[in-house]
Every structure is written in structure tokens, then in C-alpha cells.
Amino acid sequence: MASTPKTRRDFWEAKFEANVQRDRRNLETLQELGWRPEIVWECESRKADLPDRLQAIVENSSKRDQAAPSSSQEAAD
């Protein structure tokens, strides 16, 4: 779990909040461009099940892509 440093607390709280806002904007931008971002925290990358999680993400993404109509199909309709 993250914690706020005891020194310069105002600085760190503002920095953390700015980071949250930046991350939110970036996620929204990626989604608007058609991407489906997944977040993997560094601490999670050390877990033994990470390869299984990544494989599930790829498989679920492939299933969604197959189920969604392509742009050329939409244009034909």
C-alpha cells in the first residue's frame, strides 16, 4: 500500500492527485482511440500468476474483437 511521506506532505499530496488526474486523462484518451488499457502495478508483476493474468487479458481481448463488428461490416450496413 502506498503512503504519503511525512515531509513536504502538501507537495506529495498535490503530486499524487495530479498523477491520478493524468492517469485518468490518459486512460480516457486511449479508450477514445479504441484501446482497452489494462493496468498492472509493479507490485503485481512479481506475482507468480502474472503470466496467467496476461494470457487471460489477451484471450478476452481476442474474444471481444471477434464478437464486435468490424469497421468494414458497419460501413456495409
pLDDT in tens, 23-72: 999 999 999 999 989 888 888 888 888 889 889 888 888 777 777 666 55
Tell me, what's the pLDDT at 53? 86
44 alpha carbon, distance to own chain's centre:
13
Q: For the chain, how far is it from start to end, CA to CA, in angstroms?
A: 50
pLDDT at 31: 96
pLDDT at 76 over 70: no
Is a pLDDT exceeding 60 seen at residue 21?
yes
Structure confidence at residue 62 (pLDDT): 74
Spell out the residues 6+ positions from residue 2 whose beta carbon is closer than 8 angstroms to its own. Answer: 16
Alpha-carbon dihedral 16, 22, 25, 28, rounded to 10 degrees: -70
